[in-house]
Structure 1
Amino acid sequence: MQLPAQAVAATALIEVVRISALPAKQGAPFPGEVVTHWAGSEATDALTLIETLPGSEQYRCGFSPGWSIRAYEDTLDLALFEAAFCFSCHEVRMQGTAVPPTLATQFFDAAAPSAQTLLALFRAAAR
């Protein structure tokens, strides 16, 4: 999976969000509970893991994401980007000022070991 390189390099903090609904309008953050924050090596490791997610074909489930990450630079102003993951249809939707249109919708192999590791990290964060 491809993330916006400059935003990844600038990321100082990641919020992990357990999504509760779809946004009310396009471009709004995915609503849900922030279950943890990753900084330093945790953030770097998570972004590296996400970048290793292998591509996949598109599946149709209606896009019902369960998790998202929001990446922030050290000023903690607006999120550089948010990536919402649907492990049912293997789709990731990204939004934010650092996300070019070509990266906004991507597909990943949800059964791949790296995807299962990411899902386990999300679930562990919610405990």
Structure 2
Amino acid sequence: MQLPAEAVAATVLIEVVRISALPTGRDVPYLGTAVAYWAGSEAAAALALIKSLPGSEQHRCGFSPGWSVRAYEDSLDLALFEAAFCFTCHEARMRGTAVPPALATQFFDPSALPAQTLLSLFRTAA
């Protein structure tokens, strides 16, 4: 999966969110509860894992993501980007000021080891 390189380099904190509802607007974060915060090597490892997600074909489910990650720089003001993952339709959607349109919607293989590892990290965090 492709991530915005400059944003990844600037990330110091990742917030893991258990999504409870889709956002009400295009610039609104996914609604849910923050279940974990990863910093330092933990954040770097999570971003490397996300980047290693292999591509896949789109599967129709209506996009019902269960998890998202929000990446923050030092100021911790606004998220550099948020990536929401639907393990049913193989889709990841990213938004944020650092996300170019070409990276906004991507597809990943949820049965691949990196995806299963990521899902396990999410579940353990909750």
TM-score under structure 1 length normalisation: 0.99
**Separation (CA, whole Å) in 1 of partners of 2:74 and 2:24:** 28
Q: Which amino acid aligns with 1:90?
A: H
Which residue of 2 is the match for residue 86 of structure 1? 86
How many residue pairs match? The answer is 126
Tell me the alpha carbon deviations over residues 18-50 of structure 1, each in whole angstroms, 9 at most, x when there is no partner.
Answer: 000000111210000000100000000000000
1:35 counterpart SS class: strand
d(CA) in 1 for partners of 2:8, 2:42:
13
Give, as a single letter, the amino acid of the residue that structure 1 aligns with 2:50. I
1:118 aligns with 2:118: yes
Mapped partners of 1:43, 1:113: distance in 2: 19
Gaps in structure 1 of 5+ consecutive residues: none
What secondary structure does 1:26 align onto?
A: coil
- 2:112 pairs with 1:95: no
What is aligned with 1:2? 2
Deviation at 1:100, TM superposition (A): 0.1
Identity, % of aligned positions: 75
TM-score where L is the length of structure 2: 0.99
Deviations 1:49-95 (A, max 9, x none): 00000000000000000000000001101000000000000000000
Residue number in structure 2 paired with 1:77 = 77
Query: Which residue is equivalent to 2:13?
Result: 13
In structure 2, the residue matched to 1:26 is 26
Partner Cα separation in structure 1 for residue 114 and residue 36 of structure 2: 20
SS in 1 for 2:21: coil
Q: Secondary structure at the match of 2:70?
A: strand
Q: For residue 113 of structure 2, what is the amino acid of its counterpart?
A: P
Match in the other structure for 1:38? 38
Instruction: Specify the code of the residue in structure 1 equivalent to 2:58.
Output: Q
Kindly indicate whether residue 107 of structure 2 is the aligned counterpart of residue 107 of structure 1.
yes
Q: CA deviation at 1:12?
A: 0.2
Amino acid at match of 1:13: L
